[in-house]
């Protein structure tokens, strides 16, 4: 089944073939079990500004820069754009709330998957819309020697955020590889959109409450309902067709 999906992807994009060299990882909900805390801190900080905000929205907006999430919710509530100061204050408040919560843990089986990938001699890259150093730095604690400093694309890089293709295009550029030499692991609809727009084969793992069909609709080439555990179990089978 995976072989056919991959062949179809290669044909549709007029690529020579898929020859995997680098794996691009999203962070929240893929490597870190952080989404519950992001959702709670978004709801709390928005509430302080009298902005109604639901968990579902937090998952739908996942991956895009925090400033955009704030602008959309503010505009919808008050019918006008927030000032730069309001955006900054609300974002800092959100970050403060999450810092006060229990520490964020790694996603179950992410370490095993990363080990498999390293054993295959493939390079690993981080491509996240997050701009919170306190969270990004946890990757080096949970997955030491995995994401080199020059292998990280974050919101701190000052480029257009997901769902624009820019973060994944930047990753291709720093890796010095072509779209057919990479694969993306994503969990969020906007992240999938970004990866697909960059022309990269995208595996979506559903690790939240949204329907998996949303991930397929945004263009994910493979969608796994069983999250990171299922991807870890199936990586050998899937990657066999990506490396050949
Ligand atoms: Mg994510």
The CATH number covering residue 124 comes to: 3.40.50.1000
The pLDDT score that the predictor gives to residue 132 is: 86
Same domain, 165 and 221: yes
Same domain, 165 and 231: yes
Across the chain, where does the E strand assignment appear? 22-25, 32-33, 105-106, 123-127, 152-153, 182-186, 201-205, 222-224
Average pLDDT value for residue range 13-31: 97
Distance from the alpha carbon of residue 212 to the mean position of ligand 1, in angstroms: 14
Helix %, strand %, coil % of the chain (to 5)? 55, 10, 35
Distance from the alpha carbon of residue 243 to the mean position of ligand 1, in angstroms: 25
Distance from the alpha carbon of residue 26 to the mean position of ligand 1, in angstroms: 5
Domain span at 185: 2-34+105-243
Question: Is the pLDDT reported for residue 67 higher than 70?
Answer: yes
Torsion of CA 82, 41, 140, 158, to 10 degrees: -10
Give the model confidence (pLDDT) of 152-208 as tens digits. 999 888 899 999 999 999 999 999 999 999 999 999 999 999 999 999 999 999 998
Residues 234 and 188: their CA atoms lie apart, in Å, by: 20
The pLDDT score that the predictor gives to residue 59 is: 94
Distance from the alpha carbon of residue 215 to the mean position of ligand 1, in angstroms: 12
Same domain, 28 and 60: no
Looking at 99, 126, 149, the residue that finishes a domain is: 99
Whichever domain contains 42, its CATH number is 1.10.150.240
The tally of domains found in the chain comes to 2
Helix (H) or strand (E) holding 42: helix 35-48
Same domain, 39 and 18: no
Distance from the alpha carbon of residue 182 to the mean position of ligand 1, in angstroms: 18
Distance from the alpha carbon of residue 161 to the mean position of ligand 1, in angstroms: 13
DSSP state of 179: G
The overall average pLDDT reported for the chain is 96
- Please name which of 65, 143, 131, 147 lies closest in space to residue 98, comparing C-alpha atoms: 131
Distance from the alpha carbon of residue 120 to the mean position of ligand 1, in angstroms: 24
Question: In the chain, what percentage of residues exceed pLDDT 70?
Answer: 100
pLDDT tier, 26 (very low <50, low <70, confident <90, very high otherwise): very high
Distance from the alpha carbon of residue 170 to the mean position of ligand 1, in angstroms: 17
- Please name which of 130, 61, 48 lies closest in space to residue 89, comparing C-alpha atoms: 48
Q: Note whether 24 and 127 are within 8 A (CB).
A: yes
Same domain, 140 and 239: yes
Q: Note whether 36 and 53 are within 8 A (CB).
A: no
Residues, the chain, total? Answer: 244
Question: Is the pLDDT reported for residue 18 higher than 90?
Answer: yes
Average pLDDT value for residue range 99-109: 95
Question: Is the pLDDT reported for residue 244 higher than 70?
Answer: no
Give the model confidence (pLDDT) of 208-232 as tens digits. 889 999 999 999 999 999 999 999 9
Torsion of CA 135, 141, 143, 145, to 10 degrees: 110
pTM listed for this prediction? 0.94
Distance from the alpha carbon of residue 75 to the mean position of ligand 1, in angstroms: 24
Looking at 57, 75, 99, the residue that finishes a domain is: 99
Same domain, 195 and 126: yes
Residues 230 and 154: their CA atoms lie apart, in Å, by: 26
> Cα-atom radius of gyration of the chain, to the nearest Å?
18
Distance from the alpha carbon of residue 78 to the mean position of ligand 1, in angstroms: 28
Same domain, 118 and 175: yes
Looking at 72, 99, 126, the residue that finishes a domain is: 99
Upstream peptide bond of 163 is cis (omega within 30 degrees of 0): yes
Question: Is the pLDDT reported for residue 127 higher than 80?
Answer: yes
Residues 131 and 182: their CA atoms lie apart, in Å, by: 24
Distance from the alpha carbon of residue 101 to the mean position of ligand 1, in angstroms: 19
Distance from the alpha carbon of residue 195 to the mean position of ligand 1, in angstroms: 12
Distance from the alpha carbon of residue 172 to the mean position of ligand 1, in angstroms: 19
Distance from the alpha carbon of residue 165 to the mean position of ligand 1, in angstroms: 15
């Amino acid at each position: 089944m995976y072989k056919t999906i991959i062949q179809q992807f290669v044909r549709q994009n007029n690529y020579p073939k898929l020859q995997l060299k680098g794996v691009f990882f999203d962070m929240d909900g893929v490597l870190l079990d952080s989404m519950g805390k992001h959702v709670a801190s978004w709801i709390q900080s928005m509430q302080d500004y009298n902005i109604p905000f639901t968990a579902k929205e937090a998952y739908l907006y996942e991956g895009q820069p925090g400033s955009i999430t704030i602008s959309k919710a503010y505009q919808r509530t008050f019918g006008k754009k927030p000032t730069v100061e309001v955006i900054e204050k609300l974002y800092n408040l959100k970050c403060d709330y999450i810092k006060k919560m229990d520490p964020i843990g790694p996603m179950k089986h992410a370490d095993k998957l990363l080990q498999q990938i390293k054993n295959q001699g493939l390079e690993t890259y981080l491509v996240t819309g997050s701009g919170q150093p306190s969270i990004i730095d946890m990757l080096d604690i949970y997955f030491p020697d995995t994401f080199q400093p020059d292998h990280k694309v974050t919101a701190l890089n000052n480029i257009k955020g997901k769902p624009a293709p820019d973060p994944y295009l930047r990753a291709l550029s720093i890796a010095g590889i072509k779209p057919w030499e990479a694969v993306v692991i994503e969990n969020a609809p906007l992240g999938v959109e970004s990866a697909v727009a960059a022309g990269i084969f995208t595996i979506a793992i559903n690790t939240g409450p949204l329907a998996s069909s949303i991930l397929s609709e945004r263009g994910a080439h493979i969608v796994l309902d069983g999250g990171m555990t299922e991807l870890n179990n199936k990586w050998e089978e899937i990657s066999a067709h990506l490396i050949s």
